[in-house]
Amino acid sequence: MKKFASVIIAAVTLVLCFTLSACGNKYVSHYSAMLMVKENTSNKASVSFDSFSGTLVLKLKNKSADEVFISYEATLGEGNIKVFYDFNDEKLNLFDIETDGSVDGKTETFTGNKTIYIIIESDGKCSDGSFSFVLEKSEK
C-alpha cells in the first residue's frame, strides 16, 4: 500500500510539473520593474514603467482572417530597448529606442487567425518608458 501511494504521488507531481511549467509558451517574460502598469487584451497592449530591466512578452491575437497591422508608439527616458515581433515563427526587429527617444509607426500587414508576440528587451536598466501596440484592420 505504501509503494502504491508513493507511485500515485510521483505521478501527480509529474503531471503538475508539466502543466504548471512554461513549456507551452513560445517566449517567457523575465524582468524586474518598479511602478509598472501593463494592459494586454487580444487587440491592444501597453506598458508604462518608472524603471525596467529584462524581457517582457505581450500577445496580440488576430481573431479573424482579416488583414491586420500593428500600430505602435513608444517613448523612453533613459536606457536602450529593442522591440521585436513574431508572427510566423520568426523573431523580427520592430524598432530600437534609446535615451530620450520616441518612435511611432506600423508593421507590415498580417493575415490569418494567429497570435502575434511583441517582445520588449532591455540591455540594462531603463527608466520612464511607455509602449503601446494596437492591432488594426487593414484598409483594402
Cβ-contact 109, 44 below 8 angstroms: no
Cell numbers given for 134 = 494596437
Residue type, 138: S
pLDDT of residue 25: 64
> Which domains are present in the chain?
27-137 (2.60.120.260)
**Rounded-to-integer distance, Cα 52 and Cα 108, Å:** 28
Spatial distance between the Cα atoms of 63 and 13, rounded to a whole number of angstroms: 35
The pLDDT tens digits for 83-112 are: 999 977 889 999 999 999 999 999 888 777
What was the pLDDT predicted at 22? 46
75 near 102, Cβ under 8 Å?
A: yes
Residues of the chain with pLDDT under 50: 19-23
Predicted local distance difference test score (pLDDT) of residue 10: 59
**Residue 110, number of CB atoms within 10 A of its CB:** 19
**pLDDT in the model for residue 19:** 47
